[in-house]
Amino acid sequence: MHKLCVTSETGRLRSVVIGYPDNFHKAPPAIINETQKQFYFGPDCPTRERVMAELDSFKQTLLGRGVAVFQPEPLDGVPDQLMTRDIGVVIGDTFVVTQMARDSRRDEWLGLLPLLDRMRTQRIIKVPDEVVLEGGDVVVDNGRIFVGLSQRTGPEGAAYLARCFPHFQVIPVPLKQLADGENVLHLDCSFVPVGRHSALIYPDGLAEVPPALAEAYDWIEVTRAEQQMLATNVLSLSPTQVIARPQASRVNTELRRRSLEVIELPFDDPPKTGGSFRCCSLPLWRD
């Protein structure tokens, strides 16, 4: 089993857990976010066949770049197991099993049990049942842990990480809510570091901009339309490589202007469930 080590968002990716698509919607889907409401009741509803094809393309791209790829074990009765980012996060040398807000997702982490069993000599902690902390709200980057206060994660999630990781600076990032007219489900729908000193940011989705976030990054601002296509939700393979959707052409041009190699992959059906490349991946080891 590869070691656990994640200290940045953009260090070279060595191993990762990506989503498992083969049982997509074998159990009836639970409608738990605004994106699902938009897509699940019309002709553009995601299908198992397309989800499987796009996840396989994602997997083959990662393998072709030398990344070790793992996937959860399939679970009965779970609507989908695509968004592995939410159910766990590696911080330093510790695997944190997170706690989902919605009942339909609370058992997803059980698909990681065979993998966690292989890690039993390493540090694994589980967020208590009474604390909601979803991995899409956690960004670990160079001594800092940014925690989105979002539609899902609350202040108790940030406080829990501050207690568990005193050697990191834990920075809550309040996000605008649906009542504010913004659909930002998790922090990584509005803020993701890329490259060496840059970050994709949807500033209108942030209720406040913490000084550490404002000062640490060269901002690449995304528009509301780009945020809705999850242009922030990219996956870095290294400080010079990033996987992104081809639809985000202006954002991808900005990334290339900063000397990043942008690997454009068609990825249309998984985002209809609410997440793109970052949401479908749980990094275990980055250099």
CATH of the domain at 66: 3.75.10.10
pLDDT surpassing 60 at residue 47? yes
Q: What is the pLDDT of residue 278?
A: 98
Residue that the structure tokens 């990506």 belong to: 18
In a domain, 6, yes or no: no
* Averaged pLDDT for residues 102-111: 95
Exposed / middle / buried, residue 155 (Cβ in 10 Å: 0-12, 13-18, 19+): exposed
Q: What is the pLDDT of residue 53?
A: 98
> Are 185 and 41 a contacting pair, CB within 8 Å?
no
Q: Which amino acid is residue 101, in one-letter code?
A: A
pLDDT surpassing 90 at residue 257? yes
Q: What is the pLDDT of residue 7?
A: 98
Give the DSSP H or E segment for 238.
Answer: strand 235-238
Q: Is the dihedral of CA 83, 123, 147, 242 positive or negative?
A: negative
Distance CA 60, CA 38 (A): 29
pLDDT surpassing 60 at residue 1? no
Q: Which amino acid is residue 154, in one-letter code?
A: G
Distance CA 129, CA 4 (A): 24
Instruction: Characterize the bridge pairing of strands 68-70 and 241-244.
Output: unpaired
Query: Across all residues in the chain, what is the average pLDDT?
Result: 96
pLDDT surpassing 70 at residue 9? yes
Task: Tell me which of 52-56, 68-72, 114-118, 224-228 is least confident.
Answer: 114-118
In a domain, 201, yes or no: yes
The structural domain count of the chain equals: 1
pLDDT surpassing 90 at residue 120? no
pLDDT surpassing 80 at residue 33? yes
DSSP code, position 162 = H
Side-chain half-sphere of 164: how many Cα atoms within 13 Å? 22
Q: Give 169's strand partners.
A: 144
> Are 151 and 184 a contacting pair, CB within 8 Å?
yes
Among 116, 123, 148, CA closest to 133: 148
Order of all β-strands in the sheet with 144-149: 138-141, 144-149, 169-174
Q: What is the pLDDT of residue 3?
A: 86
* Averaged pLDDT for residues 75-79: 94
pLDDT surpassing 70 at residue 2? no
Can you tell me whether residue 283 is helix, strand or coil?
strand
pTM summary value: 0.96
Domain coverage including residue 220: 13-286
In a domain, 35, yes or no: yes
pLDDT surpassing 90 at residue 51? yes
In a domain, 2, yes or no: no
* Averaged pLDDT for residues 212-235: 96
Distance CA 214, CA 175 (A): 15
> Are 237 and 67 a contacting pair, CB within 8 Å?
yes
| Residue 166: pLDDT band with limits 50, 70, 90 | very high
* Averaged pLDDT for residues 112-137: 94
In a domain, 208, yes or no: yes
Distance CA 233, CA 192 (A): 7
Q: What percent of the chain has pLDDT over 70?
A: 99
Q: What is the pLDDT of residue 30?
A: 86
